[in-house]
Amino acid sequence: MKHPELNNYISQLLIGFDEQITDSIFRYIQEDRQRMNDYLDIVAKVGDLQEVNRQIGRAVTRHYNLKGFDTENNPKNTLTLTYSKLRKHLKATNK
């Protein structure tokens, strides 16, 4: 490790990004007209906004191999009222 400060900085950036990735996904949807229209179409077809959002959240955790650890009650996106903060699931190692 040539630059431990740099490695620590990068690690903290990634942890912070992981925590708010669900919010980022929903902002990604709402910031593009076509993605937003597709989202609204899916919500209409499913008939349950909360179910659509829940399934999107679950897909994010599976795709990025993250686990929920806390709830954010003040999202930046306008499509959800809350979302789960996520982190990498670290397996315990025996030394």
The CB density around residue 1, as the number of other CB atoms within 10 Å, is 7
| pTM confidence score | 0.80
The CB density around residue 57, as the number of other CB atoms within 10 Å, is 19
pLDDT tens per residue, range 20-78 = 999 999 999 999 999 999 999 999 999 999 999 999 999 999 999 998 888 888 899 99
**pLDDT exceeds cutoff 60 at 17:** yes
- Out of 10-14, 52-56, 91-95, least confident range: 91-95
